[in-house]
């Protein structure tokens, strides 16, 4: 099959990850969570590696750690993600993944705008900050009962601002992206909306 790229962007905790996995499974495509690349660089920065150096020497093993899902690593990821040289070091890997035979779903912040501006299908998955913070709170609470709603909301707002206001590849919908607001959608309904937006382009 010729390459077919589905770009899925959006802010933290909008449901991108779950939707991307389900869309990839539905079409039999490979899936890359590009946030993991920035999280891996952020995690290496927290242990003392200079971020550009970390991005240039990233290996598959760096993407495996469970520790990449913590709030500390998420904040570190959004800090290293403002550095143009960090972003540049990660571009080729993402573009090669996007054009692999058999189709690919990439989710992130700048897939439809910068990494794959010619993607065959583009979605922008969003939800209100309150709804996203509540979802992230429930997820984190299961692992750590000291987490508070107020702290999670503050983290979401801080990360949104940093991701949207940076000069290089800021978070924003591509002009030709289909916007899916998941604030009032069940996860099943959001997945169906995503599949319905992509299917006519196949």
Site for ligand C5P contains 35 (CB under 6 A):
yes
Between CA 6 and CA 113 the distance in angstroms is 12
Site for ligand C5P contains 44 (CB under 6 A):
no
Site pattern 1..20 for ligand C5P (x: CB under 6 A): -----------x--------
Site for ligand C5P in 84-143 (CB under 6 A): 108-111
Site for ligand C5P contains 81 (CB under 6 A):
yes
The secondary structure of 21-89 as a DSSP string is HHHHHHHT-EEEETHHHHHHHHHHHHTT--HHHHHHT--GGGG--GGGGSHHHHHHHHHHTT-HHHHHH
Residue 16 is assigned to a ligand binding site? yes
Between CA 196 and CA 121 the distance in angstroms is 11
Query: Coil, strand, or helix at residue 8?
Result: strand
Rg (CA), the chain: 16
Site for ligand C5P contains 163 (CB under 6 A):
yes
Pick the closer one to ligand C5P by CB: 76 or 198.
76
- Choose, by CB under 6 A, the member of 44, 132, 136, 159 that binds ligand C5P: 159
- Choose, by CB under 6 A, the member of 78, 113, 126, 147 that binds ligand C5P: 78
Between CA 167 and CA 161 the distance in angstroms is 12
Annotated binding site: 10-18
Binding interface with ligand C5P (CB under 6 A): 12, 34-35, 38-39, 74, 77-78, 81, 108-111, 159, 163
């Amino acid at each position: 099959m010729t390459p077919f790229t589905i770009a899925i962007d959006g802010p933290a905790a909008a449901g991108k990850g779950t939707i991307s996995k389900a869309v990839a499974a539905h079409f039999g495509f490979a899936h890359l969570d590009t946030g993991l690349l920035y999280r891996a660089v952020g995690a290496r920065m927290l242990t003392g590696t200079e971020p550009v150096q970390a991005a240039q020497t990233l290996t598959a093993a760096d993407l495996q750690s469970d520790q990449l899902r913590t709030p500390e690593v998420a904040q570190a990821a959004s800090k290293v993600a403002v550095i143009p040289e960090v972003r540049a070091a990660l571009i080729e890997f993402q573009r090669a993944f996007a054009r692999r035979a058999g189709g690919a779903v990439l989710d992130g912040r700048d897939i439809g705008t910068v990494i794959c501006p010619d993607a065959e299908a583009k979605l922008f998955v969003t939800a209100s900050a309150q709804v996203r913070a509540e979802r992230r709170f429930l997820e984190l609470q299961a692992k750590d009962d000291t987490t508070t709603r107020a702290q999670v909301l503050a983290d979401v707002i801080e990360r949104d601002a940093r991701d949207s206001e940076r000069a290089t590849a800021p978070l924003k919908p591509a002009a030709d992206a289909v916007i899916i607001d998941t604030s009032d959608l069940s996860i099943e309904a959001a997945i169906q909306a995503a599949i319905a937006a992509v299917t006519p382009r196949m």
